[in-house]
Amino acid sequence: MSAAAETSWAGAGDLEAAADRAIAACGGDARDAVKALIVANG
């Protein structure tokens, strides 16, 4: 496994937690969370 691949696996838990927080911030609506992230990054 490459160093980059190992790094991405190490951060997988952080990514899941960040996704959970984004969804929770939108009242549990994943679609609203995606829209909010698009606006924030657009």
Measured CA to CA, the distance from residue 28 to residue 20 in angstroms comes to 9
Q: Is the dihedral of CA 9, 14, 15, 20 positive or negative?
A: positive
According to the model, what pLDDT value does residue 35 have? 97
Q: What is the pTM of this model?
A: 0.68
pLDDT in tens, 1-42: 455 555 566 688 899 999 999 999 999 999 999 999 999 998
Matching residue, tokens 């924030």: 40
